[in-house]
Homo-oligomer: A and B are copies of this chain.
Amino acid sequence: MSEPMIKREGEMPDGTGRMLFVCVLSTTDTAKIPGISAAGSVPEITDYTPAGDAELVTIGRPVSVPDLPMTPSGCPTPALITRAAVHLTETPTLFVDSGLRIRPCVPTLNMNAQPGRDIRSGSAVNGVEQIYENAVRVGQMLSGFADTIVIGESIPGGTTTALGVLRAMGYDARVSSSFPVNPLELKHRVVEEGMRAARTGFGDFRNEPFRAVAHLGDPMMPTVSGIAAGIAEGGAEYILAGGTQMLAVAAVMRGMNMDLDNIPIATTKYIVEDGTSNFTDMAEELGCRTYSADPGFDNSRVHQLAGYERGEVKEGVGAGGAVLLAAVKGISQDILRCEIEETYLRLNDEG
């Protein structure tokens, strides 16, 4: 017997409504600090990872990268999960370029954001407020297009910038990682260095989320928080889809004193069960309600997917939210896992 595909705190979204999957893509120089990101076999590849993810989800194969994005140990990108879920449910997808160096071959909505700098400089993101305002406009537009909008992210190194913003805003976060052994000490060192360079400390930007993002964050954050705010203003439902990165987004939204109920976050069980991170406690502190998704890889015939069960990859490209979406639309865990396996095998010529 498999575990249920979704464990949840709140109501399931209405499966009869129109759904949309949005994914915000960014790159930063923080991702290129050796040892920070495993979203790519070598640090330089991280610029290509979001483009490959977008292509895989949209057309079923990466184009701008020769191979499936994967960790150094060969565990494939969570974009595979997302692809399977949106493909099976025929959910429209929209990718948002919020600071890419390498753009995918599929259409993206361009936010005019620059790639993020290395946060060790203490100056990470230009034009945070402008990006946010543009994103609110996008969210308002999208609210007219669908009833429930899942918002994911693909940003290598994103847990480090998430840690930076959470700590700058006074949250004692421990973050997850796409490495099997979480380089938490390195991440903290990078954030500390950034804080020193920005002449700021823990909690100094508690009520100044834009300054926290500008000094220690990344260009994904103002885009996701703005889109979510715009969707809510427009009267539709949003669901943040991700792990630690979406906690940072929730912190930004809380810091702006928006009139928000519980902020819905869907993520994977690999995040929720990650002993090195305190996702659940943080989500509670931030007033989030969480959905935990299990794509059922413990039963997989593909050993590379079993890497997820060993914690080699945990989340990304809105995978948890995409599984939630599939569940809402009546897709079973077995059907979803088979689709993921077939896509993986087809792309690796092992099928």
Contacts and interface: CB of A to CB of B under 8 A. Distances in A.
A88 interface: no
Contacts of A197: none
Contact of A111 (B20, B96, B107): B107
B94 A106 contact: no
Contact of A108 (B105, B109, B144): B109
Interface string A243-255: 0000000000000
A105 B134 contact: yes
A138 B107 contact: yes
A138 B111 CA distance: 17
Contacts of A110: 97, 103, 107-110
Contacts of A109: 107-110
**For the complex formed by this chain, how many copies does it contain in all?**
2
A146 interface: yes
Interface residues of A, number: 28
Contact of A137 (B96, B97, B106): B106
Nearest to A111: B107
A87 B76 CA distance: 46
A335 interface: no
A256 to B, nearest CB: 20
A107 B134 CA distance: 6
A92 interface: yes
Interface in A318-351: none
A58 interface: yes
Contacts of A59: 137
A107 to B, nearest CB: 5
Contact of A144 (B58, B134, B145): B145
Given A97-B110, A103-B110, 6 more contacts: A92-B144, A107-B109, A107-B135, A108-B109, A145-B145, A145-B146
